[in-house]
Structure 1
Amino acid sequence: MKAHAKAFAAKAHDGQTRKSSAEPYITHPIRVAERLEASGCSEEVICAGYLHDVVEDTLVEIEDITEHFGEHIAQIVAAHTEDKSKSWHERKQHTIDTIRTASKEVKYLIVADKLDNLLELEKELSEQGDNVWRHFNAGFDEQKWYNESIAMNMEKGLASEDRPGFFHDFQKAVKRVFGE
């Protein structure tokens, strides 16, 4: 099923590139899924890692995910999907509210996604400097608020043994990019 999810996402994102580079977009969901797999997540969560942006950023609808991958994977993807009709701040506040009370599977997906985005941002900041912010809908202060809020809420309700190592990696990346 993982190979099917990867192929499905690659087809859906075909021709798309990352915000501030010419890198094919599919490299992001692949890295997210690989991080989830390396952390021992279930096949469903790994599949959701490949699929996490297809509903938000392509013509694929959540019903397509349900049809091809089942209700459980569709629920994980749906919990992570932003409503693009809302403002940037409303969408990010919804993600913060979601991660506060979400299942561990949804938390894993959100944090793996945000970590990959932050690591890419860190790389782009070192290459492009502050010019990188022009590629985003929100600048440094808003991105700082959002990422720090994710870090503050991601562990709520999780037992210590249910916290994957990449949660710590995310906290460290937030501090590196946005300061203490």
Structure 2
Amino acid sequence: MERKGTATPYILHPLEAAAIVGTMTDDQEIIAAAMLHDVIEDASVAVEQLQQIFGERIAALVAAETENKRENLPAADTWQVRKEEAIGALCDADLPVKMIALADKLSNIRAIYRDYHQIGDRLWDRFNQKDKAKHGWYYQSVVDATKELAAYPAWQEYDCLVRDIFGQSELNIKK
């Protein structure tokens, strides 16, 4: 399994997300949840399975980071509503959930940064949402929703990468 549109092994993403969370907390359950953050969404693992194997707290943290994919509809058609729901939930989330979300998005934005500087705007063709400005809105919304983490270098790096990739004009565009 590879990251979307690349030859990068997928396993590196959850490993990186867990390592990023490890820079913000030494709570092993939060770090474990970061490692598992995509399993409900992408591997068809049920919350109940996570509860049985890893316990209630880890399962709840993973579930909090899981989008309703609306499998019966094309992903491109549901992108906007899924991201709006994710941002709404993130704004109301507690710190461990925000740490996991930030780590996930920092891992993603690092990959986007690397690829964007190699292939430019063709990068956006690999995603369900092709509009760079909409990605800018989403990633800036994550910056805003996780401001409680602004003292952490991970948040500062994320904020810097978002501004570098999208520039101010892209970030001022509303959904």
Normalised by the size of structure 1, how large is the TM-score? 0.85
Pairwise CA distance, 1:159: 8.0
Task: Encode CA deviations 1:8-43: one digit per residue, 9 max, x unaligned.
Answer: xxxxxxxx2100211111100000001111333410
Q: Please name the residue that 1:108 is paired with.
A: 99
Q: How far apart are the structure 2 equivalents of 1:159 and 1:53? A: 22
Q: Distance in 2 between matches of 1:135 and 1:36?
A: 27
Distance 2:69 2:124 in 1: 20
Q: How many residues align?
A: 161
2:160 is matched by which residue type in structure 1? K
Q: TM-score of the superposition, structure 2-length normalised?
A: 0.87
**SS of corresponding position for 1:82:** coil
Partner of 2:167 in structure 1? 179
CA distance in 2, matches of 1:153, 1:23: 29
Q: Which amino acid aligns with 1:132?
A: L
Out of 119, 123, 137, the residue aligned to residue 145 of structure 1 is 137
**Equivalent of 2:36 in 36, 39, 51:** 51
Consecutive aligned runs of 4 or more in structure 1 exceeding 2 Å deviation: 38-41
- 1:121-159 Cα offsets, whole Å, 9 max, x none, are 01011122211111011120110110111111212xx48
Structure 1, residues 33-64: CA drift from partner, whole Å, max 9, x if none? 01111333410110011100011001211111
**What corresponds to 1:95 in structure 2?**
86
Match among 166, 174, 177 for residue 154 of structure 2: 166
Letter matched to residue 96 of structure 1? I
C-alpha distance in 2, partners of 1:159/1:112? 11
**Identical columns (%):** 34
Alpha-carbon distance in structure 1 between the residues aligned to 2:140 and 2:44: 31
* 1:64 aligns to 2:45 (yes or no): no
Equivalent residue letter for 2:156: H
Aligned AA (1:143): H
Distance 2:90 2:123 in 1: 27
Aligned with residue 59 of structure 2, among 71, 74, 79: 74
